[in-house]
Chains A and B, each alone.
Chain A
Amino acid sequence: MRNPGAFIVAAAAFAALAAPLLSSHTPDDRHPRLLNSPPTIPHIKDDGGQWRAPFIYQWRLVNQLEQRFEEDRSTPVPLAWFPRGRIIASADESTAPFMPLGTDSYGRDVWARLLFGARASLGIALLAAAGAVIVGALLGGVAGYVGGTTDDALMRATDFVMVLPAMYVALALRSVLPLVLPPLTVFTLLTAIFAVVGAPFVARGVRGIVRTERRLEYAAAAEALGASDVRLLVRHLLPAARGFLAVELTMLVPAFVVAEATLSYIGLGFPDPIPSWGTMLHDASNVRVFVDFPWLLSPAVAMFIVVFGLNLALQGRRPGVESIR
């Protein structure tokens, strides 16, 4: 793979799509006996020093008050391959479920929630970034093409949105609506809000590119051949901004992943049963909780990996950040 960043991002996207295969539970399965249990670690060597097929030990609650668990090393439970349409799961689901990232305070599989949560978190970010790029390209294209008062008005408006702290704008817009909404409405709503907040940054750049390109000979040639304004703008001028738009898209996705997480963290994003990286962090928002059960921070790690992958993919393409050497 020439670009490790793109590889990381592709892997994350694949994990989100293949969530039902990769996890051995659904995100809502509750295990009332295993609240905040630590990750189950697959072993390949038993206490007698004997090598064997991957197996796990059952967690036994040793301290109810501190919710401390210990491995019950007397009965190894083998891992089963491809049971019930999943890649891997425990052979004895009722006593020793396989949960590679432990459970949360409701006894839900953190690994499963992480994978299914990636769908909401990455989906929202990707859709919103695409929306911002499309809206921004159209606004910027029109502003740059038409010029004059339209251009002035549009650019003043984008100036205004750009100086505002994006997080506060999103927060204010979100809080206008009822606190509790059905998940699909939240999804659409957050996507729309993020797209509105992100579009001005795209519009600025596209406007500049369209203005420069408009003066070039190929644009004059297309015009002379009788291309209409719309055709000239959409078929000839906007494609010149393709590279810029690709970079913007890659920069907006991580910003929106974090924005969703922040809004859900403070309780203004998805409602609780819907797994998203933000709602998972919300469950862990009590400091005492995630200090004792650090696996609850895994959505933060996942977020870092995705953002890091996108930044790595952008290396050398983001103006002003990568050194030329």
Chain B
Amino acid sequence: MIRYTLRRIVFALFLVLAVSSGALILARLAPGDYASGALGIEAQRETVEQMRARLGLNKSIAEQYVDWLAAAVRLDFGRSLQYDRPVSDLIPERAANTAILSLTAIVLATLIGVPLGVVAGSSQSGIVRSVIRAGSLVLLSTPPLLTSLFLVFLAARTGWLPIAGMRSSGVPPGDAWLDLVRHLIVPAAAVGLPLAAMLERLQAQATSEVIDQPFIAAARARGASARRIVWRDALRASLAPVASVYGLIVGTLLSGSFAVEVITAWPGLGSLMLDALRTRDVFLVAGCAGAGAVFLAAGTLVSDLALAAIDPRTRES
């Protein structure tokens, strides 16, 4: 188990390094740079050159990369060119916002998807099964880009919920939590609902497979109630295949929350990265990509380890 953990951690570190290096180099290779963008096309050639020299953009890619890498080892990830603040100051706040959004979405998806999946997988009634399945199929066909557009439209039309941002101004500190929750509903539902549909389908399949197993028949023969069998024995046995999906979800979650962050103006990592890419803020791009990779690596690591703890067979591959 220790060796397995170590191997996974090494892979995670490699992932973070490769992704942030790749992002830095790609951002540097891109035509145009921060200086020409910030000063506009009418700027004097010398002014642009001066700004480049001041920001260190006149160095070659290799030189800049080595400098950045040497600093990164000391946990100095460079300064954002547009905000003129260290990247390591800017990222944690935005990353926390993305984490709040993603975690809420996962919890929401689990609370909706898994119980409905158990019902759909175990119900004797064809109507219940088809209604749940139809609902899931509709939600599976509305990726976060679409759910967020539709939900924002609904929220704005009805005026029930705020449609953009994370906080409203002028809210007394006592109500800050409630305010955050109100802002969270639309984006979290936009990310979480398609995910809930996916979990529901998986859980329904796992449940219906488990229910045909001999140990369920045995439990029934011993006189256990149907409710107890479905919600205790079958649920426990069917959770493993569903749990293994959570590791894969992390990547989807980041991709999905990107569109949602842009549409609902949620101040997360995705909107920061887009902002950085547009202004060619190279160090911030690298920082955002690295932070995204940390998320990803942490997510897959935790779910892999959890799975390995449950099921020793997975440690081998």
Which A positions have Cβ atoms within 8 angstroms of B? Answer: 160, 162-168, 171-173, 175-179, 254, 258, 261-262, 265-266, 281, 285, 287, 290-291, 294, 297, 300, 303-304, 307-308, 310-312, 315, 320-325
* Chain A CB within 10 A, most for which of B142, B145, B163, B258: B145
The yes or no answer to B226 lying at the interface (CB within 8 A) is: no
Interface stretch (choices B66-74, B172-180, B200-208): B200-208
The answer to whether A171 touches B129 (Cβ under 8 A) is no
A-B contact pairs, 15 of them (CB 8 A): A162-B251, A163-B15, A163-B300, A164-B293, A176-B29, A177-B30, A258-B145, A262-B145, A266-B274, A300-B145, A300-B149, A304-B146, A311-B137, A311-B140, A323-B129
Question: Shortest CB–CB separation between residue A95 and chain B, in angstroms?
Answer: 31
Name B266-306 residues within 8 Å CB distance of A. 273-274, 277-278, 285, 289, 292-293, 296, 300
With contacts A262-B259, A281-B149, A320-B205 taken as known, whether A173 is within 8 angstroms of B292 at the C-beta atoms is no
The answer to whether B273 touches A168 (Cβ under 8 A) is yes
The answer to whether B153 touches A291 (Cβ under 8 A) is yes
With contacts A262-B145, A321-B202 taken as known, whether A175 is within 8 angstroms of B277 at the C-beta atoms is yes
The yes or no answer to B170 lying at the interface (CB within 8 A) is: no
The answer to whether A297 touches B258 (Cβ under 8 A) is no
The answer to whether B150 touches A165 (Cβ under 8 A) is no
Name B137-163 residues within 8 Å CB distance of A. 137-138, 140-143, 145-146, 149-150, 152-153, 156-157, 163
Name B19-71 residues within 8 Å CB distance of A. 19, 22-23, 26-27, 29-32
The answer to whether B209 touches A171 (Cβ under 8 A) is no
Q: Which one of B201, B202, B292 lies within 8 Å of A168 (CB-CB)?
A: B292
With contacts A165-B254, A307-B143, A324-B209 taken as known, whether A265 is within 8 angstroms of B262 at the C-beta atoms is yes
Question: Shortest CB–CB separation between residue A160 and chain B, in angstroms?
Answer: 7
- B300: A residues at CB distance < 8 A: 163
The answer to whether A258 touches B143 (Cβ under 8 A) is yes
The answer to whether B259 touches A304 (Cβ under 8 A) is no
In the complex the two chains form, what is the Cα distance from A65 to B129 in whole Å?
50
Question: Shortest CB–CB separation between residue B220 and chain A, in angstroms?
Answer: 18
- A321: B residues at CB distance < 8 A: 140, 198, 201-202, 205
- A265: B residues at CB distance < 8 A: 145, 259, 262-263
In the complex the two chains form, what is the Cα distance from A175 to B280 in whole Å?
9
Q: Which one of B32, B163, B255, B285 lies within 8 Å of A287 (CB-CB)?
A: B163
The answer to whether B137 touches A323 (Cβ under 8 A) is no
In the complex the two chains form, what is the Cα distance from A261 to B149 in whole Å?
12
The answer to whether B138 touches A308 (Cβ under 8 A) is yes
The answer to whether B251 touches A165 (Cβ under 8 A) is yes
The yes or no answer to B184 lying at the interface (CB within 8 A) is: no
Closest 10 CB pairs of A and B: A167-B255, A308-B141, A165-B254, A165-B255, A307-B141, A291-B156, A175-B277, A323-B205, A321-B201, A176-B30
The answer to whether A175 touches B129 (Cβ under 8 A) is no
- A291: B residues at CB distance < 8 A: 153, 156-157
In the complex the two chains form, what is the Cα distance from A321 to B201 in whole Å?
5
Chain A: CB-nearest residue to B150: A300
The yes or no answer to B101 lying at the interface (CB within 8 A) is: no
In the complex the two chains form, what is the Cα distance from A311 to B194 in whole Å?
13
The yes or no answer to B113 lying at the interface (CB within 8 A) is: no
With contacts A164-B19, A164-B296 taken as known, whether A287 is within 8 angstroms of B141 at the C-beta atoms is no
With contacts A165-B252, A168-B292, A178-B31 taken as known, whether A287 is within 8 angstroms of B145 at the C-beta atoms is no
Name B206-258 residues within 8 Å CB distance of A. 208-209, 251-252, 254-256, 258
The answer to whether B273 touches A266 (Cβ under 8 A) is no
Interface size class of B (residues with CB under 8 A): 35 or more
In the complex the two chains form, what is the Cα distance from A258 to B273 in whole Å?
19
The yes or no answer to B166 lying at the interface (CB within 8 A) is: no
Chain A: CB-nearest residue to B202: A320
With contacts A163-B296, A323-B208 taken as known, whether A171 is within 8 angstroms of B274 at the C-beta atoms is yes
In the complex the two chains form, what is the Cα distance from A162 to B300 in whole Å?
12
- B164: A residues at CB distance < 8 A: 287
Chain A: CB-nearest residue to B149: A300
Chain A: CB-nearest residue to B120: A323
With contacts A258-B145, A281-B149, A300-B146 taken as known, whether A323 is within 8 angstroms of B121 at the C-beta atoms is yes
The yes or no answer to B171 lying at the interface (CB within 8 A) is: no
* Chain B CB within 10 A, most for which of A163, A177, A258, A290: A163
The yes or no answer to B18 lying at the interface (CB within 8 A) is: yes
- B18: A residues at CB distance < 8 A: 160
Q: Which one of B26, B205, B254 lies within 8 Å of A176 (CB-CB)?
A: B26
In the complex the two chains form, what is the Cα distance from A12 to B19 in whole Å?
38
The yes or no answer to B183 lying at the interface (CB within 8 A) is: no
With contacts A261-B145, A325-B208 taken as known, whether A168 is within 8 angstroms of B255 at the C-beta atoms is yes
With contacts A172-B289, A175-B277, A300-B149 taken as known, whether A322 is within 8 angstroms of B252 at the C-beta atoms is no
The answer to whether A164 touches B251 (Cβ under 8 A) is yes
The answer to whether B201 touches A323 (Cβ under 8 A) is yes
The yes or no answer to B79 lying at the interface (CB within 8 A) is: no
The answer to whether A168 touches B30 (Cβ under 8 A) is no
The yes or no answer to B94 lying at the interface (CB within 8 A) is: no
The answer to whether A294 touches B153 (Cβ under 8 A) is yes
* Chain A CB within 10 A, most for which of B150, B205, B252, B256: B205
- A285: B residues at CB distance < 8 A: 263
Taking A167-B256, A291-B157 as known contacts, 20 extra A-B pairs with beta carbons closer than 8 A to each other, sorted by chain A number, are A164-B251, A166-B255, A167-B254, A167-B255, A168-B273, A173-B26, A175-B277, A262-B258, A262-B259, A290-B149, A304-B142, A320-B202, A320-B205, A321-B201, A321-B202, A322-B205, A323-B120, A323-B133, A323-B204, A324-B208
